[in-house]
């Protein structure tokens, strides 16, 4: 005779987004409401595994993961995976389509910045990106005459522009992208799904 398992007693893997799901508030001053903290504790006590699924860059989500007691995480819009606290894979974006996006931004005078490694810093060819966005999500380093073709990988592209700037950049259709604030924000990110 086979014993029937009760589905409610089975261990589950439950993923949580960070921004505006677990964490509320503005970047740099986000917090997790007590109700969410209690829910995470209850899920873990019941034997469930909890994980983060975020569009944030691995380097920008890692401290959050550790502080909140998560062992597992999908980061970089699905391009990075952390299992049992160890980064197992972090893939860059498709290189040639990214170069085309950057070239098109340059042709059209649209400010941009790139993340070329797993760090908390993005590079910009001039001060326009920060001047237009005032974005404090990560450090923005200005590298005059930045040529991204000198770097072997691109992990994220940040584009400065209010909606509908994304409609002006035809090459965006070949890379995963999203606006990471509402339409009134001057921030668009490639690979923030």
Domain boundaries, the chain: 11-90, 95-190
Q: What is the DSSP string of 31-50?
A: B--HHHHHHHHHHHHTT-EE
Rounded to whole angstroms, how far apart are CA atoms 17 and 192? 12
* The total number of residues written for the chain in this structure: 193
What does CATH list as the number for 95-190?
3.30.1240.10
Contact assessment for residue 19 and residue 25, using Cβ atoms and an 8 Å cutoff:
no
Residuewise pLDDT in 10s, the chain (193 residues): 444 444 556 889 999 988 778 878 766 677 888 898 899 999 999 999 999 999 889 998 998 899 889 999 999 889 999 999 999 999 999 999 999 999 999 999 999 999 999 999 999 999 999 888 888 778 999 999 999 999 999 999 998 887 778 788 998 888 877 766 655 555 555 444 3
Q: What is the pLDDT, as a whole number, of residue 3?
A: 42
Contact assessment for residue 137 and residue 129, using Cβ atoms and an 8 Å cutoff:
no
Radius of gyration of the chain, Cα coordinates, nearest whole angstrom = 19
H/E stretch holding 132 reads helix 128-133
Global pTM reads: 0.80
Rounded to whole angstroms, how far apart are CA atoms 5 and 37? 29
Rounded to whole angstroms, how far apart are CA atoms 162 and 185? 6
CA 2 vs. chain centroid, Å, equals 45
Q: What is the pLDDT, as a whole number, of residue 192?
A: 44
What does CATH list as the number for 11-90?
3.40.50.1000
Rounded to whole angstroms, how far apart are CA atoms 165 and 185? 11
Q: What is the pLDDT, as a whole number, of residue 95?
A: 95
Q: What is the pLDDT, as a whole number, of residue 1?
A: 41
Q: What is the pLDDT, as a whole number, of residue 80?
A: 94
Rounded to whole angstroms, how far apart are CA atoms 157 and 101? 9
Contact assessment for residue 54 and residue 19, using Cβ atoms and an 8 Å cutoff:
yes
Rounded to whole angstroms, how far apart are CA atoms 82 and 62? 9
């Amino acid at each position: 005779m086979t014993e029937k398992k009760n589905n409610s007693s089975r261990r589950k893997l439950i993923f949580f987004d960070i921004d505006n799901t677990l964490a509320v508030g503005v970047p740099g001053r986000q917090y997790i409401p007590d109700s969410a903290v209690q829910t995470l504790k209850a899920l873990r006590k019941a034997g469930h595994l909890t994980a983060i699924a975020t569009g944030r860059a691995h380097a920008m989500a890692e401290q959050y993961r550790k502080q909140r007691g998560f062992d597992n995480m999908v980061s970089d819009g699905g391009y990075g995976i952390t299992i049992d606290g160890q980064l197992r894979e972090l893939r860059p974006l498709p290189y040639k389509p990214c170069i085309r996006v950057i070239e098109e931004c340059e042709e059209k005078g649209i400010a941009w910045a790139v993340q070329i490694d797993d760090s908390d810093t993005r590079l910009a060819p001039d001060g326009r990106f920060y001047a237009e966005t005032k974005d404090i999500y990560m450090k923005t380093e200005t590298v005059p005459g930045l040529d991204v073709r000198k770097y072997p990988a691109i992990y994220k592209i940040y584009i400065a522009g209010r909606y509908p700037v994304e409609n002006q950049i035809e090459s965006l259709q070949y890379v995963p992208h999203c606006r990471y604030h509402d339409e009134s924000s001057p921030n668009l990110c490639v690979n923030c799904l």
